[in-house]
Structure 1
Amino acid sequence: MPTALIAEDEELLAAHLRQELTTLWPALQISAMASHGQEAVDLALKHQPDICFFDIRMPGLTGLEAAAVLADEWPQNKPFPLLVFVTAYDQYALQAFERAAVDYVLKPVQRERLSQTVGRLQTALSQRQPAPQALDAALAQLRGLLASAGGADRATALANEPSGAVGANAGSATSASGPLLRHLQVGVGDSIVMLPVDQIVYLEAADKYVRVLTAEQEYLVRISLRELLPQLDTARFWQVHRGHIVQVDAIDRVVRDESGRLTLKFRQRPEKLAVSRMYAHLFKAL
């Protein structure tokens, strides 16, 4: 029997989706229910369902972030679950889902629309790819969605940024969404350090802050990694993990272990950073 996980933080909506799925697809077994993103990842790894219904907006990890974490931790010998995102109406999000060929259903869930999704899932399960190919296909879809989400986050960050709050943009490079940061304005005691982004080795998510590490110093900036990333030059700053962004020029080498996992070593820092599956495609030897 096919199995599914439902991740939805609103209890009534989760119960409604479960009931509708039971009516439309009696053979489908709901193996787990999660109320937030990290619980969704944990239960999916435990039960290894065939399908995951992820609410796109959940406490902690969003549905998209939970799917990315799940892809990084999923056993390579198991076919990756088919993904369906549950979302409120948002034209930008719907266009992103359609471009990435990822199925979605709108809140409140309508039986007719959910019936179409069920039909697609049944067909996809009957034509399921072997485990490695299924994971590769899911990673490609999620990369496309993350890229689209990054564009939206960049526009939001620029629109909400107070003048001079994050960095000095005058004369900086630009993208389609606006100027890119040249400096971070970092509060240190009663001073503000104007830190050139060229000096950054890597950035690390730290609760409501970002740790900014240079060759010799460490700073804390009160901003999330999600908000900061869209303001950086993505040709120079690469996200290599959900919690890490690195400056490419600061990397000395990339080491691959026996399982195929990648680890970064820096020229001027002793730390080593793991590269998640989501971003491993960035590093290819010529």
Structure 2
Amino acid sequence: MNATALIADDEPLLRERLRTLLARAWPQLQVLAEARNGREAVELFDQHAPQIVFLDVHMPGMSGIEAARSIARRAQLVFVTAFEQYAVQAFEQGAVDYLVKPFDEERLADTVQRLQQRITQAPQTAPVAPAGLEAVLDGLSAELQRRMGNVPTYLQWIKASVGQSVRLIPVDQIAYLKADEKYTLVVWEGGEALIRKTIRELADELDPSRFVQTHRSVIVNLHQVVQVTRGPNETAEVQLKDRRELLPVSRSYLHLFRQM
């Protein structure tokens, strides 16, 4: 049976190991792309639309858990994790499958068989039940935070050149950031400026409880959001305080605003 997949793991050797084992267990499976973190996984998923996504739970920046929230019911999800307790819970609820590191060929063969059955039996239906998936992701997220046991340090200031001077912009004053070719446009209460950091870099360095990526080229400050208007094809537009421009929300990020 021919099928397509995406592998997301921040460790190159583990990506290579999983690809090698998959080639043995499922020669017809085509791995379309490999991602180094959750954000890249979402971008590559939108680009290639694979049927299956193998997601490492713990990756820098956007974790595999948050990537799974974005991908949701559009693919079969398989978590690659050391958190066996929650992986078993995920499997029992039928929301996702799991592989525990280090990879075991016999266990992978079971996963391949289940994936083949799901794709064959219900190719036109949503792969997972939303309620079951959310419960699993919440459990995995809590366990990940508990095991990490530390509080990450996020950017407090962004340095930008404004005219002939260098300006230190407090991040809590930023309304949004938008990709502009090789630069990023920073829009804050005091004006606008271009910086050399990319959206990808900033997405990993900003506090995710305050700043969220709504589109591959846009990050917004949630504290500045006043309205989200739904659009066609599961997209939306965000309106910010005291600003006229509307910012796009692509399908992969719409879930961030469903409970607002």
Give the distance between the partners of 2:149 and 2:215, measured in 1 at CA: 18
| Matched letter for residue 226 of structure 1 | D
TM-score (norm 2): 0.61
What SS does the corresponding residue of 1:19 show, helix, strand or coil? helix
Paired residue for 1:111, among 105, 111, 114?
105
Change (3 A) 1:216 1:262: same
Bigger Rg, structure 1 or 2: 1
Give the distance between the partners of 2:229 and 2:133, measured in 1 at CA: 21
Is residue 157 of structure 1 aligned with residue 158 of structure 2?
A: no
Is residue 273 of structure 1 aligned with residue 251 of structure 2?
A: no
Paired residue for 2:159, among 155, 165, 186?
186
Give the distance between the partners of 1:149 and 1:242, measured in 2 at CA: 28
Cα contact 2:4–2:31 (8 A) shared by 1 = yes
Q: Which residue is equivalent to 2:5?
A: 5
Give the distance between the partners of 2:137 and 2:252, measured in 1 at CA: 7
What SS does the corresponding residue of 2:206 show, helix, strand or coil? helix
Deviations 1:51-83 (A, max 9, x none): 3335668999986677666x39xxxxxx73212
Mark the runs of 5 or more structure 2 residues left unpaired by the alignment.
none
Deviations 1:122-174 (A, max 9, x none): 5645764964574856974796489569958994633xx7xxxx43xxxxxxx
Is residue 34 of structure 1 aligned with residue 13 of structure 2?
A: no
What SS does the corresponding residue of 2:26 show, helix, strand or coil? helix
Please give the root-mean-square deviation of Cα atoms over the aligned residues, in Å.
5.0
Is residue 229 of structure 1 aligned with residue 202 of structure 2?
A: no
Deviations 1:164-198 (A, max 9, x none): xx43xxxxxxxxxxxxxxxx36354665536361x
Give the distance between the partners of 2:215 and 2:142, measured in 1 at CA: 17
Equivalent pairs counted in the alignment come to 239
CA-CA distance at 1:217 after TM superposition: 1.4
Matches within 5 A, 1:5-154: 5=5, 7=7, 10=13, 11=16, 13-22=18-27, 29-36=28-35, 41=45, 44-45=48-49, 48-49=50-51, 51-54=52-55, 71=71, 80-86=74-80, 90-91=82-83, 97=87, 101-121=95-115, 124-125=118-119, 128=122, 131=125, 134=128, 136=130, 140=134, 144=138, 151=145
| Matched letter for residue 203 of structure 2 | L
Give the distance between the partners of 1:253 and 1:15, measured in 2 at CA: 47
| Matched letter for residue 254 of structure 1 | V
| Matched letter for residue 7 of structure 1 | I
Change (3 A) 1:237 1:143: farther
| Matched letter for residue 229 of structure 1 | D
Mark the runs of 5 or more structure 1 residues left unpaired by the alignment.
23-28, 73-78, 168-183
Deviations 1:72-113 (A, max 9, x none): 9xxxxxx732122345xx44xx56655655322244421222
CA-CA distance at 1:216 after TM superposition: 4.6
Give the distance between the partners of 1:116 and 1:18, measured in 2 at CA: 14
Give the distance between the partners of 1:44 and 1:115, measured in 2 at CA: 25
Give the distance between the partners of 2:19 and 2:256, measured in 1 at CA: 37
What SS does the corresponding residue of 1:229 show, helix, strand or coil? coil
Cα contact 2:226–2:240 (8 A) shared by 1 = yes
